[in-house]
Amino acid sequence: MAALVLPAGLLVALLLVAPMVLLFRISLNEYSPTEMMREATTAANYLRAVGDPYYRSILLTTLTVSMGSTLLTLGLGFPTAYWLARMESRWKSFATIVVMFPLLVGNVVRAAGWLALLGNGGAINSSLMGLGLIASPLPLIYNTGAVVLGIVAVVLPYMILTLSAVIESIPRQVEEAASNLGAPSWTVFRRVVLPLALPGVAAGSVLVFVLCMNTYASAVLLGGPRFKMMAPAIYDQFVRGNNWPFGAALAFILLTITLVLTILGSAALGRRYRRPKEELS
């Protein structure tokens, strides 16, 4: 059996580990405007990324937008996931496809669609101006709100599908038993459904958070030129600035922070799940 894992293992080694090792090596090099980069072993790129207020603010924006989007996705996704998981009619598979449908539309295409809807010359603004309700376009786009909206629309299906798989594994009788014992719906949710769904909440949130941290298209197209997140900043260093060592350092900072937060988050949720709750509210 172990041999069957070999091809996939080799592929991961070749396509993921090797570039990562290479990238890490580059991040320790020195930037040179004339010869692109010089072989070195320096932490200067990392120190610059952490020390420069500009890049610190980009990192902070990426973190707050990612956490905010993850929480919003969780809040929006849970009721839908529950509804989908408990659905019994023959429309269930149809509803699942509807939930998955946004995944078929690429991020760029989707962001372009948001532009057409929310932009200054977009559908909403032009109809409101056409009706004479507003004189100048509303700032519906090129702000944090628009980016979060774009991100949530992209990641919501992942959250819903992950959660509903876990909720489906919670026997309905367990919920019925709680309400039979006198628990109103909200208490059934808080004391029974949510604790049992925590593994799904953890898995869905981790997945979504990682996707958010690496957002590119939504940030560039809906955030506008002055809005910056990590992924576009890394792209800028590699392609526009030609500063590979610094870009590589930024990439590694993004990778490390995502990894650490993911591990901490799932460990916290995991511990809560394993320990039976005995304290009574």
Partner 1 sequence: MGSLVLEALAKRYGTSVAVQRVDLDVRQGEMVALLGPSGCGKTTTQRMVAGFVAPSAGRVLIGGVDVTQAPPHGRDTGMVFQSYALFPHMTVAANVAFGLEMRRVGRAERDTRVREALRMVRLDGLEDRLPRQLSGGQQQRVALARALVVNPAVFLLDEPLSNLDAKLRGEVRLEIRALQQRLGLTTLIVTHDQEEALTMADRLVVMDRGKVRQVGTAEELYERPANPFVAGFVGQCNLVEGAMEGTGMFRAASGALLPCAATPVPPGRHVLALRPERIEVTPAADGSARLRTATYLGPLTEYHLDLDGTPLLAIRPTPTAGEPLRRLSSGDAVTVSWDASAARLLSAAQPEELEP
- Which residues make up the interface to partner 1 (CB under 8 A)? 171, 173-174, 176-184, 187, 191-192, 195-196, 273, 276-278, 280
> Nearest distance from residue 82's CB to partner 1, in Å?
17
Q: Nearest distance from residue 86's CB to partner 1, in Å?
A: 13
Cβ proximity to partner 1: between 93 and 281 the closer is 281
Cβ closest to partner 1, residue 240 vs residue 271: 271
Least distance to partner 1, CB of residue 267, Å: 18
State which residue, 52 or 176, has the beta carbon closest to partner 1: 176
Q: Which is nearer to partner 1, 133 or 280 (CB)?
A: 280
Shortest Å, Cβ 188 to partner 1 = 8
Nearer to partner 1, 226 or 275 (CB): 275
Q: Are 23 and 251 spatial neighbours (Cβ–Cβ below 8 Å)?
A: yes
- If the CB atoms of residues 32 and 169 are measured against partner 1, the closer one turns out to be 169
For residues 118 and 217, give the distance between their C-alpha atoms in angstroms, rounded to a whole number.
Answer: 16
- Measured in degrees and rounded to the nearest 5, phi and psi for residue 241 equal -80, -15
Q: How far is the CB of 183 from partner 1 (least distance, A)?
A: 5
**Considering the complex, what minimum distance in angstroms separates the CB of residue 180 from partner 1?**
5
